[in-house]
Each structure stands twice: as C-alpha cells, then as structure tokens.
C-alpha cells in the first residue's frame, strides 16, 4: 500500500507530528549550522563583485568543476571527444567547445553522469519542468544550502526576515483530497510556514482559510502564481479583505500579466516579487528592489542563447553540484528581452518558461501545478494535459522504451492523489506532442469556455 494512503487515514494530530518530523530533518539538512555562516559569507562577498570579478570567479569555479566532472564516464568521454582542455586557464573558452546538453540525453546517460564520489552525501530531488518529463538527480548538501541561502539573500533585500511567518500555496499534497472539514492547512514549525492544502481551496473553504491567515497575523504569502491567483480570485468573489498581506513572493512558474493584475486588485497593500530557478540548479533570475528581473551570474555560469528575436533559451552549468555535473544544460525555459543582453547586469523583460493553466473539477475547485503528477515519472519523455468541454481530462503521454505497467500504475496513482478518483480521464499514448510556434510544449490546454476559466 502507498504510504500516503496510510498517512491520510490517520488523525490530524498524528499527521501533524509525522509531517513536522520530516520537515524538521529537511530544514536541518538545508541550514546546517556548521556550514551556513561560511556559505552565506561567501555569497555576500560574491554579490559585491564587479563584472571583471564575476568573470574571474566563474573561471575559478568552472576549472574546479571540470576536474571533478572528469571522474565521471560521461564527461570524461565528452571532454576527450570535443578536445576540452580541463587544465586550461580559460575554462570559459573550453566550455564553448561542448554541445548543448538536453534533458533527454541526461535521462539516457544518468548513471554515467552521476559522480559516485559525492552520491552518498547527496539528496535525490525530482523535477518535471515545462514538458512534464520527470528527472531525478542527486544534489550535494553544499549545493542545496548554497541555493537556499542565495534565495534568502534576495528575500532579505525585499524586507523578508529569515523564517518569517508565511502562508504557502504550493503543490505539495499532505491531506486527503476527500477531507470535508477544516483544518485545510498544516503548520511547518521548523520553517514557520502555514502550508495551505490547495486541493481544498474552493468557494466554500476560502473564508475559513483566509480567517486562519489573518488570525495568525501572516503578512507574507509565498507560492506558485497560478495557485495564489486562484486564491485571490476566490477572495474577490467572496469580498474578503486581505489588506493585511504586505508581500507576495512567487516561484516555480511565470507570473502572467492577468495574474499580477488580479493579485494587485485583491492584495492592495502588497508588494509582488518573483524569482526563477530549477532543481537542476543551472540558472537563477531574481527581481531587485526596482522591480527589474536580473540574471544572477554568480550563482552559475549561465548563457542566454537566441531562440527567436527578443527570445532566449536558458542554458546553464551547475558548477556547485559536484554529484551531478551539468555543462551547457538546456533548461527548456525561455526568457524575453527587448534590449541586447550583452550589457551587465543582464536584465530581462519576462520569464517565458513554465507557464501553466488550471483545470476545473466538477465541484468547482481549480487545480494547477499539475506537473507534480509527473515528478516521479522518469520514463515519461513528454506529457500534455487537455481538459475537454465536458470536463473530461486527457493525458497525452510520450513514453520511453523503458516504460512499463508499473510506471502506468504509478502515474494513475499520482493522478488520483492529485485530482481525486471522481474524475473522468484517459491516458493516451502518442509518438509525439505538437509544439507551439516558438518550440515550447503547452503543458495544459483547456477547451472550456472563457466563463469557466480564471480571468
């Protein structure tokens, strides 16, 4: 039996204890006292670098990264084939000799990319990205801590205190979707987060959830823009005053213009900030206090390659994660910039990746962050979700040659965990999924009329 199926049948107070035990160990791993001060000090130093110092810093990190990656079968062969001199004093030039690395190639060569020297001290993370194609990869403790402290550096710049009380709207499932009575949230004690169970967020529960946020005197909301937008929409319908919220920070998806307008119309006293990152750790984009989107060139060696006029692919080298080295990895995401990107710091106009829609359940609940369904589906190459006019949901799936009945059962389990069992859906296996004109896959397509969609 699935452990979650056992967990969701337990009394709430038992779930609370189990949830927080797990959360505590995650928090302790991310913010280990013996390493936090040293890493954060190095981050502060890096943020003061000028353009030439950033370039030299990248060279030092790349050179060390080449040496570490050379002990893996995949990169050792790649370096030899493309005549990469890993001892060169100009590692940036040597990096340019390598071809772009795709997620498909990474999944195929996974075992040969893993650096066994660091695997035992790493944590396995899952990602899905824009295509819904799952990827599991090990991340070293140093890389994980560095990433989180980097994010906190920018949060603090916007006035958010470390471990400030926060309401989180994200895709994590921690309550039975069939739960009919509150609480529809879970306090994560170690990080001071009130995690809202978004599958329970609907017209009938929004007032209860909002009252909880107010009673806890929460001033900061964090999460996926599509989920926070649903919450804002329901608050607007029920005329719930949310002027107590002072800041909204978003990640995981692009913030759409209509979503931003909606948030501004509901959270009247709130500043909205966003950042971009991914589990692979190949790139980071943050919003500064002026509202500009800036590419963080200290975090990784990042390249923005022109895809179309004013549109660029995010290509990155994750030189902090020695356990799973990625050179010139195509994140699958795009950014837009009207101005030339050669100037430093690199400013972009829009993050054009991981844009998602919502689907509508029969009870009126809107569900997003559907990529969670495919997080563990390593044998799914691509996926697309289509909601038909009769509310039926089609899951188009391009499966790899290793896809088995076990994968299908796991996928069905994830669908029903996320959406419940009282939905009509079908798994449709296809050879390929058509892309948009700009080469991106639309992960969610809804055929419902505009009146059924979030405006």
Domain end call among 351, 384, 404: 351
> 53 and 126, same structural domain?
yes
Flag whether 64 is in a domain: yes
Mean pLDDT for back-to-back runs of 10 residues, the chain (455 residues)? 83 96 96 92 94 94 97 98 97 97 92 95 77 77 95 94 94 86 96 94 94 97 87 91 95 75 92 90 92 92 88 93 96 81 83 66 80 80 88 91 89 90 91 66 74 40
CATH number of the domain at 226, please: 3.40.50
What string of H, E and C letters represents the secondary structure of 202-262? CCCCHHHHHHHHHHCCCCEEEECHHHHHHHHHHHHHCCCCCCCCCEEEECCCCCCHHHHHH
Q: What is the CATH number of the domain that holds 434?
A: 3.30.300.30
Same domain for 160 and 18: yes
Shared domain for 260 and 193, answered yes or no, is yes
Residue 326 near residue 100 (C-beta atoms within 8 A): no
Asked, for residue 321, whether it belongs to a domain, the answer is: yes
**How high is the pLDDT of residue 29?**
94
Q: Which pair of tokens denotes residue 39?
A: 């890493």
Q: Identify the pLDDT of residue 204.
A: 93
Paired strand residues for 347: 294
- Among 36, 296, 52, residue whose Cα is nearest residue 154: 296
Residues 164 and 185 in one domain: yes
Tell me phi and psi for residue 402, to 5 degrees: -90, 0
Closest CA relative to residue 325, chosen from 44, 81, 116, 69: 69
Residue 73 included in any domain: yes
pLDDT at 381 (0 to 100): 77
158 and 267 belong to one structural domain: yes
For residue 282, give the nearest of 308, 261, 313, 306 by alpha carbon: 313
Strand-pairing partners, residue 117, are: none
Boundary-marking domain end, from 324, 351, 378: 351
Query: Looking at the domain assignment, is residue 148 inside a domain?
Result: no
* Domain assignment of residue 147, yes or no: no
> Does one domain contain both 55 and 115?
yes
145 domain residue, yes or no = no
| Residue 431 neighbours by CB distance under 10 Å | 6
Beta bridge partners of 247: 220, 271
Based on the domain organization, do 297 and 232 belong to the same domain? Answer: no
E runs forming strands in 296-403: 301-308, 311-317, 329-336, 347-348, 350-351, 359-360, 366-367, 380-387, 393-399
Nearest in space to 124 (alpha carbons), one of 330, 375, 305: 375
Distance, in Å, from the CA atom of 407 to the CA atom of 412, rounded to the nearest integer, reads 9
266 shares a domain with 173: yes
110, part of any domain:
yes
- Measuring CA to CA, which residue among 34, 29, 39, 12 is closest to residue 190? 29
Going by C-beta distance under 8 Å and a sequence separation of 6 or more, which residues neighbour residue 323? 114, 115, 118, 119, 121, 122, 137, 138, 139, 140, 143
* Both structure tokens of 332: 């699958």
Q: Is the same domain home to 23 and 158?
A: yes
Q: Are residues 228 and 289 in the same domain?
A: no
Of 164, 160, 149, 141, residue with least CA distance to 47: 149
Residues 103 and 174 reside in one and the same domain: no
130/180 same-domain check: no
- CATH number of residue 111's parent domain: 3.40.50.12780
Residue with tokens 């990784």: 300
CA distances from 10 to 14, 184, 190, 284 (A): 6, 15, 22, 39
Contact 95, 327 (CB under 8 A): yes
Number of domains in the chain: 3
144 found inside a domain: no
Task: Please state, in angstroms and rounded to a whole number, the distance separating the CA atoms of residues 254 and 349.
Answer: 12
The predicted pLDDT at position 454 comes to 39
Structural domain boundaries enclosing 133: 31-138+284-351
With contact defined as beta carbons under 8 Å apart, do 195 and 26 qualify? no
**Residue at a domain's end among 351, 380, 406:** 351
Q: Select from 384, 325, 337, 333 the least CA-distant residue to 359.
A: 384
């Amino acid at each position: 039996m699935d452990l979650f199926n056992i967990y969701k049948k337990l009394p709430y107070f038992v779930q609370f204890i189990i949830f927080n035990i797990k959360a505590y160990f995650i928090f302790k791993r991310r913010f280990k006292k013996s390493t936090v001060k040293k890493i954060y000090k190095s981050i502060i130093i890096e943020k003061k670098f000028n353009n030439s110092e950033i370039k030299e810093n990248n060279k030092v990190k790349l050179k060390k990264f080449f040496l570490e990656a050379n002990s893996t079968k995949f990169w050792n062969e790649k370096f030899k084939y493309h005549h990469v001199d890993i001892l060169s004093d100009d590692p940036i030039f040597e990096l340019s000799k390598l071809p772009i690395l795709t997620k498909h190639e990474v999944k195929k060569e996974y075992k040969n990319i893993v650096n066994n020297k660091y695997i035992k001290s790493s944590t396995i993370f899952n990602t899905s990205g824009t295509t819904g194609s799952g990827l599991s990869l090990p991340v070293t403790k140093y890389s994980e801590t560095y990433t989180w402290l980097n994010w906190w550096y920018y949060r603090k710049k916007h006035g958010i205190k470390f471990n400030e009380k926060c309401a989180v709207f994200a895709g994590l499932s921690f309550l039975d979707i069939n739960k009919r009575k509150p609480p529809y949230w879970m306090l994560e004690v170690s990080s001071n987060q009130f995690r809202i169970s978004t599958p329970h967020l609907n017209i009938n529960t929004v007032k209860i959830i909002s009252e909880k946020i107010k009673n806890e005197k929460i001033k900061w909301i964090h999460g996926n823009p599509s989920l926070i937008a649903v919450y804002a929409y329901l608050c607007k319908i029920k005329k719930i005053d949310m002027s107590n919220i002072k800041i909204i920070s978003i990640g995981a998806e692009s913030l759409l213009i209509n979503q931003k307008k909606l948030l501004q119309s509901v959270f009247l006293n709130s500043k909205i900030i966003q950042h971009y990152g991914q589990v692979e750790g190949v790139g980071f984009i943050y919003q500064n206090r002026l509202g500009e989107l800036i590419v963080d060139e200290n975090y990784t060696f990042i390249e923005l390659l022109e895809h179309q006029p004013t549109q660029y692919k995010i290509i990155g080298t994750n030189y902090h994660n020695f356990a799973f080295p990625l050179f010139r990895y195509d994140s699958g995401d795009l950014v837009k910039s009207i101005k030339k990107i050669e100037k430093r710091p690199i400013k972009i106009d829009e993050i054009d990746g991981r844009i998602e829609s919502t689907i509508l359940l029969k009870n009126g609940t809107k569900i997003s962050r559907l990529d969670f369904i495919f997080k563990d589906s390593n044998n799914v190459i691509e996926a697309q979700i289509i909601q038909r006019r009769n509310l039926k949901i089609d899951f188009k799936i391009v499966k790899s040659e290793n896809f088995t009945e076990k994968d299908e059962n796991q996928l069905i389990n994830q669908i029903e965990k996320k959406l419940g069992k009282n939905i009509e859906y079908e798994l449709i296996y296809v050879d390929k999924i058509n892309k948009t004109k700009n080469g991106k896959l639309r992960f969610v397509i809804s055929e419902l009329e505009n009146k059924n969609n979030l405006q």
